[in-house]
Amino acid sequence: MVSSLINALPKAELHIHVEGTLEPVLMMSLARNNNVSIPYNSIDEIKNAYRFKNLEDFLRLYYSGLRVLKDEDDFYILTMNYLKRASENNVRHVELSFDPQAHTRRGVRFEEVIEGIHSALKDGERKYGISWVIILSILRDLSVEDALHTLSRAEEYKDIIDAIGLDSAEVGNPPSKFKKVFEKAKTSGFHLVAHAGEEGPPSYIKEAIDLGVERIDHGVRAIEDETLMKMLGRMRIAFTLCPLSNLKLNVVKSLKNYPIREFSKVGIRVTINSDDPAYFGGYINKNYEEVAKALNLKPKEIIEIARNSIIASFASDERKREILREINDVEKNYFESA
């Protein structure tokens, strides 16, 4: 019954890296088409490499795999492949992150990346009915100067890029390092989000809040700081949690202690997302299912998480109302038939 509820629920995915949807089959295909050498001879070899000790271990393989993405068509195919999966998971709105610096430093033009992604999102909206927001994520292990240059490119595409985020290797790269970037992005009218409190300490979450972010990506280590938890609860801030990612990267040892209820209890808006699903073993419904099973989440709790994903999104108010009505209908039908 829980799986059928999860499948039926309309939902938003707020924490998804398009590069993290590069499935092994597509990686092999693009490597052949683009004459790119990768250190794998089969799809099974790629899958067997997906055993990570931590975030840094994952990022080394992640960036290596991106070499197969060379032009606008590749980013279009990558994005459309994700949107098909998202549709199958009843995602009704997606806020898609991309890492332009991971591509421009390989010689791929910024225009090729954003235009391929944007074209796919427009076609995906027509085909699957999925509304969308684009988040440009800054790589925090690169320089502030590089980040400011990348932000200037985002400003050229302000009509389609809605938000600025912060991701990649967290430890040693606190949000405060990018104070100038976030100040400029806020002045330019972008929404702000940031990865914080995944492997970095709870203090990184506070730093991100001080920079004006509207959502925290991950944030699981907030549980270690009671004062911070109370502050986040008063703010009613949203966390874009990614259970299978946290499990695969050893951020948490088990989902049986995943702090969803603790966060919800203080007032944090919990959402569930898939992060980099090609690498972490599941798209959004799988993340819902695994954490629901581990914590024995009740139907009301699952519905509330889906509802949070819409409320915490950057979708228009009209779009939010539309999807929230769909959730209400699913909730009503579920309990009437139970």
**Catalytic positions:** 198
Q: Which amino acid appears at position 326 of this protein?
A: E
